[in-house]
Amino acid sequence: MTSDAQYQRDNNLATRIAFHEDYTAPYVDFSHWVLDQLPLSDGQTVLEIGCGNGEFWVRNAARLPTDLKLVLTDSSAGMVEVAEQRLSDAGLSATYQVVSAEDLSADTESFDLILAKHMLYHVTDRSKALAASRGLLKPGGYFCATTNSGSYMQQLQALLTEEGLEWFSSFNDEFTLENGADQLGWHFGKVELEVLDGQLVVPDADAVIEYVKSTASLFPEPGLLFAACATIRPKIQAVIDRKGAFTISKRAGLFLCQ
């Protein structure tokens, strides 16, 4: 499954980030939570692969150690362009490269930390990408990968399964909290997992539908998802009318590897 159409620019990603931002209750800023787990100190060199629109750095701009040397990469030129603009607006400097995680070359400088935030499930040859990252770490450096549980957003998944769309949450199946450690274990001697449980409490059916639609281009038949939205919207609204909100559980987490 290719994610190229999905990530030409950051509009789909931005819709989903805003959904989490608006409805996570109790509120936890995931980017802050990730930074708080990282063994980062002043002056270190950091590579992010699959940086998207640079959200992690923008959200943490006021919380970062000083003098970090940042290199942000993504396979989408559109994403890199948006990230560069957003970091610049936030007063952060970095170097940028449009490159797939599989094609990182070992003659690039080496890093104290490499971050792969919610992106490894999109990488076709994950083993190649992990080996390339491993080769770019300084001795003692860390590789950090974040992802979702395979049972992510089960209430939404259940509604879409009723419509025959059991594949809805399958986009992250290739690299989840449950199967990620085994994959990372081929490349790193030490793999530790931190989990963050949370929920979305959404009083607005249209916001849920917008979220679902933002994922459509991840799938081979996006039309089926759009059609299902018309059917699930009244069901979500009925729950909101009864309970005040549609609640969606979510479990995400972070692997820290050496």
Ligand X SMILES: C[S@@+](CC[C@H](N)C(=O)[O-])C[C@H]1O[C@@H](n2cnc3c(N)ncnc32)[C@H](O)[C@@H]1O
Tell me the C-alpha to C-alpha distance, in Å, between residue 34 and each of 147, 186, 193, 202, 219: 11, 23, 12, 24, 28
Q: Are 205 and 240 in contact (CB under 8 A)?
A: yes
52 part of the interface to ligand X, by CB under 6 A: yes
**Considering the complex, what minimum distance in angstroms separates the CB of residue 208 from ligand X?**
19
60 part of the interface to ligand X, by CB under 6 A: no
**Considering the complex, what minimum distance in angstroms separates the CB of residue 226 from ligand X?**
20
Chain length of the chain: 258
Contacts with ligand X: how many residues (CB under 6 A)? 20
Whose Cβ is closer to ligand X: residue 216's or residue 240's?
A: 216
Residue type, 138: K
Whose Cβ is closer to ligand X: residue 97's or residue 199's?
A: 97
251 part of the interface to ligand X, by CB under 6 A: no
118 part of the interface to ligand X, by CB under 6 A: yes
What's the number of CA atoms in the CB half-sphere (13 Å) around residue 78?
A: 10
34 part of the interface to ligand X, by CB under 6 A: no
**Pairing of β 246-257 and β 191-202:** antiparallel
Q: Which two tokens stand for residue 42?
A: 């002043």
Name the one range near ligand X by CB under 6 A: 44-52, 62-70, 225-233, 249-257: 44-52
153 part of the interface to ligand X, by CB under 6 A: no
7 part of the interface to ligand X, by CB under 6 A: yes
Distance between CA atoms of residues 37 and 60, nearest Å: 13
Q: Select the residue interacting with ligand X from 24, 44, 76, 149 (CB under 6 A).
A: 76
The continuous run of DSSP H or E covering 59 comes out as helix 55-59
Name the one range near ligand X by CB under 6 A: 19-27, 51-59, 176-184, 199-207: 51-59
Distance of alpha carbon 104 from its chain centroid, rounded? 19
59 part of the interface to ligand X, by CB under 6 A: no
Name the one range near ligand X by CB under 6 A: 37-45, 111-119, 160-168, 215-223: 111-119
Question: 74 CB contacts (<8 Å, ≥6 apart)?
Answer: 7, 49, 50, 51, 52, 80, 83, 98, 99
Instruction: Note the residues at the interface with ligand X (CB under 6 A).
Output: 3, 7, 13, 49-52, 55, 74-76, 79, 100-102, 117-119, 122-123
